[in-house]
């Protein structure tokens, strides 16, 4: 039985560019809002690297999709500022190799399907099951869980067809963090703080 659960965070980057030809001085205007993904990565590893994996799928031009995996146990120190994170992404998209980081052509739903094979997947959705109820139930069966995946979108919501497939075909549980709307990076920090309260 697994003694430690691996936590995965999957964020769809709806318009994130799949080229290194974006301007670091104008990330908002030229990168398809990769700056949101940078903040999500920094949030994911803000409490450490152990047993945490971050995934993002870039769906913007010119060659989508590009799936990036950041494997916490294998990562060296990540950049703490946006400029160096942008430089790292330019290197990744150019084809440079970095320890603990991989890039493939997997689609968002393909990657979500693969993560389903590892353990439960959770889709953050307002007006859904309260997160505390879900975590309380999960804590009762934690010995049987190898990994847990939380799925989010960036500033653009997932397509209804994607939500439908995640829920009805892949068996995702929909949970809510409350009545307020949060940025994706804030959702990740919120979840990590709450997970620390459980003996996973």
Separation between Cα atoms, residue 180 and residue 6, nearest integer Å: 27
Contact 120, 138 (CB under 8 A): yes
Residues with Cβ within 8 Å of residue 196, at least 6 apart in sequence: 47
Domain boundaries, the chain: 1-200
Separation between Cα atoms, residue 167 and residue 8, nearest integer Å: 17
To the question of domain 1-200 being in CATH 3.30.499.10, the answer is no
- Spell out the per-residue pLDDT of the chain, length 200, in tens: 445 889 999 999 999 999 999 999 999 999 999 999 999 999 999 988 889 999 999 999 999 999 999 999 999 889 989 999 999 999 999 999 999 999 999 999 999 999 999 999 999 998 999 999 999 999 888 888 999 999 999 999 999 999 999 999 999 999 999 888 899 999 999 999 998 876 55
Global pTM exceeds 0.85: yes
């Amino acid at each position: 039985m697994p003694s430690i659960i691996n936590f995965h965070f999957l964020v769809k980057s709806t318009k994130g560019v799949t080229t290194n030809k974006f301007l670091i001085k104008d990330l908002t205007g030229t990168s398809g809002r990769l700056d949101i993904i940078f903040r999500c990565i920094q949030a994911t590893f803000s409490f450490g690297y152990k047993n945490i994996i971050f995934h993002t799928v870039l769906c913007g031009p010119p060659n989508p999709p590009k799936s990036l995996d950041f494997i916490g146990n294998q990562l060296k120190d990540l950049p703490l500022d946006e400029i160096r994170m942008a430089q790292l992404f330019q290197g990744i998209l150019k084809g440079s190799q970095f320890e603990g980081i991989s890039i493939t052509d997997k689609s968002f739903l393909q990657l979500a399907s693969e993560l389903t094979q590892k353990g439960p997947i959770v889709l953050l959705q307002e007006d859904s099951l309260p997160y505390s109820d879900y975590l309380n139930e999960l804590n009762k069966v934690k010995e049987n869980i190898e990994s847990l995946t939380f799925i989010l979108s960036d500033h653009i919501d997932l397509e209804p067809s994607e939500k439908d497939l995640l829920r009805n075909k892949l068996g995702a549980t929909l949970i809510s963090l409350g009545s307020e709307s949060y940025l994706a990076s804030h959702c990740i920090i919120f979840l990590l703080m709450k997970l620390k309260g459980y003996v996973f």
